[in-house]
């Protein structure tokens, strides 16, 4: 557990990026915690949504690297929401509070499911410009827990933690993956009973994504070839749901590639975001993009619009 917590990168992150707490609901107990790094002039940042066991800190390597390259990055931790529509309403209010019109979302596991549901719920007045879905799913029934979803609130914290830990990798893993698992266990320990119970409820209550409502959103599906909590069937379902999505495959990485394979994950995020350079939905400061790259991007955009006109 000590490896990541005492690493220079993590300590640099904790000492340079302030944690903000924001309340947007009438209920004062619903507090959003977030790290916001990079140029504040960017109005379409990339926002990271954590898995059930995660906090805003789990994406610290993405926050450091991407903000260093000129991107505006927000990593957040949700308050206690027991219902998907309630979450979507709270997240919309948070974006309004931050004065963000449209955003790019990176969601890991539950975070990816919530990102898809938010894009779906706001499809008539779009707030999501693109999605990166890491080890994520589109239908909660894959966990076979829909019948217990309404009883998580009754369970003590130790039992909820046991349920979550049951999905963590077992058996031998490489040192970086072992460090990532230890760090996530540490993050899990920091969550209280209601935080865990509400996330598990969102993760398991009967719901699925309606892809026709978000067909205009650019999607990258990121997954790993080694052992993760997602079944092969769940991955195939995601590919079917988004046939035009870009695919970012990592040979290894387990459940938490953003921690143990951060360089690869950061590269795939850059590739995904590059398609928006030179547009009003760029997540990067224009000064950080080379003139040559902007020219190529504008040419691509004009070619796309010409082909749309022809069709």
pLDDT value of residue 298: 60
> What CA–CA distance (Å, rounded) separates 306 from 83?
43
| Among candidate residues 206, 179, 12, 14, the one with its CA nearest the CA of residue 113 | 206
For residues 176 and 170, the model is more confident at 176
pLDDT value of residue 230: 76
By DSSP bridging, strand 46-49 and strand 103-108 are parallel
- 167 pLDDT more than 60: yes
89-102 residue pLDDT tens: 999 999 999 999 99
Instruction: Categorize the per-residue pLDDT at 310 as very low, low, confident or very high, splitting at 50, 70 and 90.
Output: low
Tell me the C-alpha to C-alpha distance, in Å, between residue 300 and each of 44, 80, 219, 267, 307. Answer: 20, 43, 18, 21, 11
By DSSP bridging, strand 103-108 and strand 32-37 are unpaired
172-226 residue pLDDT tens: 788 999 999 999 999 999 999 999 999 999 988 888 999 899 989 999 999 998 8
The H-assigned helical ranges of 98-174 are 110-121, 157-165
Who's near 76: CB < 8 A, 6+ residues apart? 32, 33, 34, 35, 47, 48, 49, 50, 56, 94
Residue range 254-276: mean pLDDT, rounded: 94
Q: Map out the domains of the chain as residue ranges.
A: 4-309
pLDDT value of residue 145: 66
- 308 pLDDT more than 70: no
Instruction: Categorize the per-residue pLDDT at 128 as very low, low, confident or very high, splitting at 50, 70 and 90.
Output: very high
- 281 pLDDT more than 80: yes
For residues 235 and 116, the model is more confident at 116
Specify burial of residue 291 (Cβ count, 10 A radius: 0-12, 13-18, 19+). Answer: exposed
pLDDT value of residue 1: 43
- 306 pLDDT more than 70: no
> What CA–CA distance (Å, rounded) separates 121 from 287?
34
- 269 pLDDT more than 90: yes
pLDDT value of residue 170: 73
- Three-state SS string over 216-268 comes to CCEEEEEEECCCCCCCHHHHHHHHHHCCCCEEEEECCCCCCHHHHCHHHHHHH
DSSP state of 285: -
Global pTM value: 0.91
Phi, psi of 248 (to 5 degrees): -120, 100
> What CA–CA distance (Å, rounded) separates 25 from 2?
36
- Of 8-12, 54-58, 277-281, give the lowest mean pLDDT range: 277-281
pLDDT value of residue 55: 95
pLDDT value of residue 244: 93
pLDDT value of residue 147: 63
> What CA–CA distance (Å, rounded) separates 237 from 233?
6
Instruction: Categorize the per-residue pLDDT at 168 as very low, low, confident or very high, splitting at 50, 70 and 90.
Output: confident
> What CA–CA distance (Å, rounded) separates 119 from 140?
17
pLDDT value of residue 226: 80
Give the fold, CATH level 3, of 4-309: Rossmann fold (3.40.50)
pLDDT value of residue 82: 94
Instruction: Categorize the per-residue pLDDT at 299 as very low, low, confident or very high, splitting at 50, 70 and 90.
Output: low
């Amino acid at each position: 557990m000590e490896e990541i917590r005492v690493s220079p990168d993590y300590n640099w992150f904790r000492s340079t990026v302030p944690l903000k707490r924001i309340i947007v609901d009438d209920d004062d107990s619903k507090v959003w915690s977030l790290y916001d790094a990079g140029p504040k002039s960017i109005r379409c940042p990339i926002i990271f949504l954590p898995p059930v066991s995660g906090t805003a800190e789990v994406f610290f390597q993405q926050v450091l690297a991407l903000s260093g390259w000129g991107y505006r990055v927000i990593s957040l931790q949700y308050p206690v929401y027991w219902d998907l529509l309630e979450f979507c309403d709270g997240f919309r209010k948070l974006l309004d509070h931050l004065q963000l019109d449209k955003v790019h979302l990176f969601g890991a596991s539950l975070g990816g499911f919530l990102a898809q549901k938010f894009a779906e719920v706001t499809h008539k007045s779009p707030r999501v410009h693109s999605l990166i879905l890491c080890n994520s799913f589109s239908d909660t029934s894959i966990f076979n827990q829909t019948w217990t979803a309404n009883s998580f609130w009754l369970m003590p914290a130790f039992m909820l933690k046991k349920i979550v830990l049951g999905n963590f990798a077992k058996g031998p893993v490489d040192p970086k993956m072992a460090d990532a698992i230890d760090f996530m266990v540490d993050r899990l320990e920091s969550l209280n009973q209601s935080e865990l119970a509400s996330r598990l409820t969102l993760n398991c209550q009967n719901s699925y994504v309606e892809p026709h409502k978000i067909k205009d959103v650019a999607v990258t599906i990121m997954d790993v070839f080694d052992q993760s909590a997602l079944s092969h069937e769940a991955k195939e379902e995601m590919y079917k749901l988004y046939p035009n999505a870009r695919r970012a495959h990592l040979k290894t990485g387990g459940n938490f590639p953003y921690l143990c394979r951060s360089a690869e994950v950061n590269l795939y995020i850059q590739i995904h975001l590059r398609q928006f350079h030179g547009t009003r939905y760029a997540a990067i400061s224009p000064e950080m993009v080379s003139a040559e790259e902007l020219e190529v991007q504008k040419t691509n955009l004009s070619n796309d619009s010409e082909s749309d006109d022809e069709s």
